[in-house]
A and B are shown apart, each in its own frame.
Chain A
Amino acid sequence: MITTMDQIFVLLQHWIVGFLPAFVQPFAAVLLSVVVIICLFPALFALAVWMERKGLGRMQNRLGPNRVGPFGLLQPIADGIKSLTKEDIVPLSADTPVHFLAPLLLVVAAFMGFAVLPMGRNMVLVDMDAGLLFFFAMGASTEVSVFMAGWSSRNKYSLLGAMRAVAQMISYEVVLLLSSVAVVMISGSMSLTKIVEAQNHYTWGMPHWYIFTPWGLAGFVMYAIAATAETNRSPFDLPEGESELVAGYHTEYSGFKFALFFLGEYLAMFSISGLGTTLFLGGWSAPFAFLEWVPSWIWFFSKLMMSIFVFIWMRGTLPRLRQDQLMNFAWKFVLPFTLLNLMVTALWRFMGEGWERWVVCSAILAVVWVVMGRVEMRSEHFGPRSYRYAE
């Protein structure tokens, strides 16, 4: 019974595919999984939007959506109908083909990342040898579509937003990659299923997740910062800073194309949270040994939604950074610390089992964290900003 519940989606897929003739079965199995992914994540997107609006409402001491359905639960459907029926406006001077292609490419690239994420035991679409590399390759190709959207709109706010977004995404992608490299160094594989299996062991009922090691904790913090910046979420949401840029690179989009950008942003959030879960939080493995009877996919999706909640929480809490602060933070604090974390990971690997490596690695990371923070704070001038071009 426990195994059946754990494997229910795999069994369902086999059952449905079993009705088809043998030569289409492999193709049908893949097609079925793709359809499920394409239906499931937009549904989660609707739920997450409702969660975000309700949660932000509570944090700002207001009610949030409460008119459509119980607790405003049907609000996403109303939003969807609204964006479908709105007029699709394309600016007269816009570059029409590029303007049309940009949202499509963004959503396609955002969907691709889910292909390699293990969402439960045996629940992965393609178990690639280079799964992690595939994920980052797909993440990197969203930058081009963001640029296409901003440039083709022929609007200075769009272009500024796109340039900000691309600069920010390139800067933080380095950190994202390097913090994941630490995991690859320890697990010795770029296949995401193998990384999850390497963490799926228990000592005294506690899991061997990478976040419970010094280098894993540091790597996870850096990964979380970079992931927030990579998905353009607050406090790193300068590319769409509404007080200065209207809406950034999607200013000139309306109707369903705008909805596609919105969808792409949330899909990127889901996939990057899913990757963080897989790399540092044990993927689909249970948090305690005695909870292993709960189906694996429940764990994966609860961890995913917890990460989404943290994203929303941060948006409700932190003010937006300034562009120079953003760049300084990336290149002068996060990147050096991630590089140091790589060294510490290598040290951890070669010190062997025992308590010494816990003490040494934690001490190095803690000391550098404090010292670097102090030094950076000292050199920070809290005065009026000097402008180079606008005075």
Chain B
Amino acid sequence: MTVVFYLIATLTLAGGLAAVLLKHLVHCALAVTVAFGGLALLFLSLDAQFAGFAQILVYIGAVAILIVFAILLTRGSELPKDGVFSRTWLVGLAIAAGVFSVLGWAVLESAQSLPQQSAVPAVTVHDIGNALVGRYVLPLEIVALLLTAATIGAVIVALHEKDGAQ
């Protein structure tokens, strides 16, 4: 378990670091995909099948493709002349360290306040499905409504051309 965890963690971190450090934007997008894959493997190694496969399906199958499309359609795939690193990287580093410390503090604190569970809870996809359309049906519907609104909005933005053209 621990060896597998360290392997996956190394892969994920390497992907994330490469996404920040590589020069070419498309390479960065592919490195982010590696990091997404590493996260999915982490979920799977924790026996969270649904979360793991949903991570692959949504993040590798859709989000990574979306990023790539955005890069190619905005001509960001050409290398900028004055380097890709921002001059305010020190501020960025400080903000990132701050966010990381707050998150890490929250995780470490919550581990103590939660009851210690000796057995791993067996949550099947069946249970998740029942919970989603049973107890959590209202949040699910709200999310669905929000996404539908976002889709319609995107279509309206894209429609803003002279009609008649195919």
Contact = CB atoms under 8 A, between A and B. Distances in A.
Interface string B95-134: 0000000000000000000000000000011100000000
Interface string A111-141: 0000000000000000011100110111111
Which one of B53, B56, B124 has the greatest number of beta carbons of chain A within 10 Å?
A: B53
Contact of A166 (B30, B53, B65, B126): B65
A324 B56 contact: no
Contact of B65 (A138, A144, A190): A144
B125 A324 contact: no
Interface string B68-97: 110010000000000000000000000000
Nearest to B125: A130
A385 B166 contact: yes
Interface residues of A, number: 30
B132 to A, nearest CB: 13
B166 A137 contact: no
Interface in A145-166: 147-148, 151, 159, 163, 166
B65 A143 contact: yes
Contact of B166 (A98, A140, A163, A324): A324
A252 interface: no
Contacts of B61: 136-137, 139-141, 143-144, 173
B166 A133 contact: no
A377 B53 CA distance: 39
A170 interface: yes
B39 to A, nearest CB: 13
B159 interface: no
B60 A141 contact: yes
A189 B126 contact: yes
B12 interface: no
A61 interface: no
Contact of A134 (B53, B64, B68, B126): B53
Given A129-B124, A130-B49, A130-B125, A147 B68 contact: yes
A386 interface: yes
Contact of A129 (B40, B49, B54, B62): B49
A170 B33 contact: no
A388 interface: yes
A335 B128 CA distance: 26
A170 B30 contact: no
B57 A144 contact: no
A137 B53 contact: yes
A193 B65 CA distance: 31
B156 interface: no
A144 B53 contact: no
Nearest to A389: B165
A184 to B, nearest CB: 9
Nearest to A138: B56
Contacts of B124: 129
Given A136-B53, A137-B53, A138-B56, 10 more contacts: A95-B27, A136-B57, A137-B56, A137-B61, A143-B61, A147-B65, A188-B126, A190-B125, A386-B166, A388-B166
Interface of A: 95, 98, 128-130, 133-134, 136-141, 143-144, 147-148, 151, 159, 163, 166, 170, 173, 188-190, 324, 385-386, 388
